[in-house]
């Protein structure tokens, strides 16, 4: 039962950190830039060396100018695309919702908290397995924090490299990825302890 409590409390702490990070701290404010008003309801085609509006009709994840697909994905087309991307405006990644989207749906808060709890329960289970080799509080905190470091290098660092996130965006996300498991680790380490040796 105490392991379930540890995972739940740690998950809620992670979720609370996410709320503070996004709503109370200036971490992410500098990481996002708004479209100019003229482009607020438009996509981003290229017009010479400038960006001009294009109405998008389908929701999805967009890349501009876009990679050749199917029969058009010839070596020549890829070389032309690479040359164009080196010298003209590029949108690496854009999520577009053609029908609009509720920015703060209540269900997302519930699912967000649940995902943090699930992640923390997994971290609690792994810490329990490793506890015999982690007798110190700091060692257990470091163990849980290292799970966040693993996620950073296994996934986020790759994403940062290939999509070319700006430095401010990358730093903000990195802080989130490291601080959340650090805080969860403080909770888990306080509850999941090295088992006492059996009496002789």
- Structure tokens, 66: 């876009």
Q: Name which of 87, 90, 39 is nearest 65 in CA terms.
A: 90
Are the C-beta atoms of residues 41 and 30 closer than 8 Å to each other? Answer: no
CA 154/CA 172 separation, integer angstroms: 18
CA 125/CA 20 separation, integer angstroms: 26
Residue with tokens 């943090």: 116
Cα torsion angle, 67, 73, 78, 84, sign? negative
CA 165/CA 31 separation, integer angstroms: 9
Q: Which helix (H) or strand (E) holds 87?
A: helix 75-87
* pLDDT tens, residue order, the chain (200 aa): 889 999 999 999 999 999 999 989 888 887 887 766 544 455 555 555 444 455 677 888 888 888 888 888 898 989 998 998 898 888 888 888 888 889 899 999 999 999 999 999 999 999 999 999 999 999 999 999 999 999 999 999 999 999 999 999 999 999 999 999 999 999 999 999 866 554 44
141-171 b/e (C-beta count within 10 Å ≥ 16 → b): bebbbebbeebbeeebeeebeeeebeeebbe
Q: Name which of 63, 56, 132 is nearest 93 in CA terms.
A: 63
pLDDT for 7: 95
pLDDT for 95: 87
Q: Is 184 helix (H, G, I), strand (E, B) or coil?
A: helix
């Amino acid at each position: 039962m105490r392991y379930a409590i540890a995972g739940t409390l740690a998950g809620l702490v992670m979720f609370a950190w996410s709320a503070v990070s996004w709503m109370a701290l200036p971490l992410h404010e500098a990481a996002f830039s708004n479209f100019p008003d003229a482009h607020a309801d438009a996509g981003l085609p290229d017009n010479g060396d400038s960006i001009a509006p294009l109405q998008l009709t389908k929701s999805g994840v967009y890349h501009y100018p876009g990679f050749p697909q199917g029969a058009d994905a010839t070596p020549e087309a890829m070389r032309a695309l690479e040359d164009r991307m080196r010298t003209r405006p590029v949108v690496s990644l854009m999520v577009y919702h053609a029908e609009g989207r509720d920015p703060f749906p209540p269900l997302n808060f519930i699912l967000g908290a649940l995902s943090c709890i699930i992640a923390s329960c997994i971290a609690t289970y792994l810490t329990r397995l490793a506890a015999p080799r982690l007798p110190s509080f700091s060692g257990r905190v470091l163990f849980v924090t290292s799970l966040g470091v693993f996620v950073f290098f296994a996934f986020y660092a790759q994403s940062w490299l290939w999509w070319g996130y700006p430095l401010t965006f990358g730093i903000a996300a990195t802080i989130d990825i490291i601080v959340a498991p650090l805080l969860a680790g403080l909770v888990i380490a306080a509850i999941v302890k090295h088992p006492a040796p059996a009496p002789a």
